[in-house]
Amino acid sequence: MKKLLVALFLSTAAFANPQVTTVSPASATTSGGAEITITGAGFTADAQVQFGSTPATETHFVNATTLVAVTPAHLPGVSHVEVRQADGNAFHTFAFVGPIPSTFERVLLPTFTGPVNGAFGSVFETELRAKNGGGDPVHLYGLALDCRVTCIGGSIDYPPVLTNDSDIKPHDVLYTGTPAQFLMVPKSEVDRLSANLRVFDTTRTDANFGTEIPIVRQRDFFDQRDSITLLGVPTDPQFRNTLRVYSYDVASQVVITLEGHEPWIVPMQGARNIFEPAYAVFTDFPTGVDVVDVNVSLFQPNISADIRQPFWAFVTVTNNETQLISTISPQP
Amino acid sequence: MRRTVLLAALSLLFSFSLFAQSEQFKISPALGPSSGGTTVTITGPFGSWPYDVVFGEDFSASVRRVDENTVVAVTPPHAAGIVNIRLFEYDVFISTTLTFEYIGHPEREQFLLPVFTEPVQGAHGSEFRTELRGMNMDRSGPVLDVLDVWGLEIACRYTPPVCNWLEEPMVFLEPTATAADLIDYNVFQTGTPGRFIEVPRGRADDLSVSLRVYDTSRSSENYGTEIPIVRTTDFHRGSFALLGVPTDPRFRNTLRLYATGPTTVHLLVGNDAHEIQLRAGEHHFDPAYAQFTTFPTGAGTIRVLAAGEENGPAVWGFITVTNNETQHITTITPR
């Protein structure tokens, strides 16, 4: 009997999965570098620690009940500590708090919604395509893929990953922008990302291929102390103009100036999560015959002038009859 | 079999996109402005000695060893062109097959106007015009500075003509108090079809420009198409991709390729491989250029991969998709 019990114990031990009971501390700053202690049972020397899909900077096996790990830089929010070893894995919640780490770069998709009904029966759809330009994988935090089989993305833990052999095609994507979307891409990977964003009228595909919408990297945003001037905006009533302004972190007021007119002040709608830009839209352009230059700046009276809030803006010019869209964006 | 081997070889070439590399070492980025100051990362089998990095004949402005496989260096200033990179280990130079391209004038920042031509007659009575607008946005400092722009030819107003637009700036944008627009100048749009323009180094943020192509015969239907203006330091020394190119015969596609010097570009258009020669520009504001229009027809979309010569000049390109009936133009650019 004793031999049987020993055999049963040994067989159980041989198949014992790790278990995590506590993680201390239960949170760390987004900048990484914090040492945390993971207690539980069944840890083995080959144990590795991950935070979502991001490996810990260091993992140290202390004994079967204790691991010590160093946190990596990570996006803020509720994540999961995962202990991975040959005989299984275990999870525990963990929180990252603080600003977006400097190891990530925002990539703005200015229009990223599902189909939108427009005038004259038009239906505007957005298409995103993306490819890895070659080399190591590219992680696209903030992109949600269509859940036909396995739901991927939308969280800070398990983003869609572009490998050398994979593409993202338009029908793979859930267009969840409101109306825009930030992707967060590790700075070491963003140069490998090739992407294209297009808006087109599904009812007029025989007449045109739509309009390319610029995808904007964080480095190309404008400093709050600068202004953006968008040149050559038509006032002809054949066209309707929509100015879209994007920022992050803190919502400001947008000041829009056209020569010969009093400035307009438009409040920005604040971002509800890290993947959503602060956003403002303006359509109250004067009509006439001239072409005007539109100056856009941010105003935030209660914030220190030392705080620089980057922003970006562009205008879409839509023909009221044909629904053809032209863009006017800040260049170079 | 031969086609399979060629496609495999091209795929291998295209996989070396962001890092120019030798057998052992890689560098990224592999281009930067002639003024220097570009931070490059070189990876490879470094030993334990301190290393320095030599660009052509000039030592790096600063070097930092990150780990035994990574060195970060800042480029020194250098005249435009492609230089070899050597490593200096303790007391000996180590050759690599890495190169770095210095782009543009050391004292200026350079941009590409991809389409900069006089009006072009098209199908179905269309006439495509290119419109360039520009302003000086300088608002900094106690004195607002005029912004010099090189690369634009204007009508000489003097007799005898003293306009030497290839050497001197011809356009001087006053700081914005009124709209001192490029349109106020009589600029000759003589791009072939592209044109490089330059502003003084450090003044690029003062320049606001827009480039638009529109069909004058259909201006009541659409406002035309914005053409991207590209910093030449955003060109590619490696491959780049253009995604979602339609093959529907209702559209005609034109791929326009630009480079900082004459070169050969390898294309993978869907599954078809091509080699395109970019002829040298006529002067230093004229990019090396070629265009490609032999796209397959069918249904759906394809992607185009373009790669310049390894260790060759930097390349950029984009596609215009034109509806054969309406003449509406959509761009596809590498982002």
- C-alpha angle A318/A324/A328, rounded to 5°? 55
ipTM: 0.87
With beta carbons less than 8 A apart as the criterion, state whether B102 and B34 touch. Answer: yes
Q: How is residue B162 written in tokens?
A: 């003293």
Is the CB of residue B303 less than 8 Å away from at least one CB of chain A? yes
pLDDT tens figures, A60-95: 999 999 999 999 999 999 999 999 999 999 999 999
Q: What is the pLDDT of residue B162?
A: 65
CA distance A231 to chain B (A): 6
Determine the pLDDT at residue A181. 95
User: Omega of the bond prior to B193 within 30 degrees of 0, cis?
Assistant: yes
| Closest CA–CA distance from residue A24 to any residue of chain B (Å) | 31
SS3 state at B174: coil
DSSP assignment letter at A204: G
* Chain B interface mutation, best of A212, A226, A315, highest count of B Cβ atoms under 10 Å: A212
- The closest CB to that of B229, out of A130, A191, A332, belongs to A332
Query: How confident is the model over B229-255, as pLDDT tens digits?
Result: 999 999 999 899 999 999 999 999 999
Out of A209, A238, A329, name the one closest to residue B226 (CB): A329
The closest of B152, B153, B138 to B202, measured between CA atoms, is B138
Q: What is the DSSP string of B222-239?
A: ---EE---EEGGGSBSSE
Question: What is this structure's pTM?
Answer: 0.89
Q: Report yes or no: B215 and B125 within 8 Å, Cβ to Cβ.
A: no
pLDDT single digits (tens) B82-111: 999 998 887 888 888 999 999 999 899 999
Which of A164, A207, A232 has its CB closest to that of B212? A232
Average pLDDT in the B181-203 region?
87
Q: Residue B21: pLDDT above 60?
A: no
Q: What is the mean pLDDT of residues B41-70?
A: 87
Helix intervals (H) in chain A = 2-14, 187-190
Chain B residues within 8 A of A191 when measuring between CB atoms: 18, 28-29
Q: In angstroms, rounded to a whole number, what is the distance separating the alpha carbons of residues A271 and A252?
A: 11
The token pair that represents B299 in the structure block? 């249904």
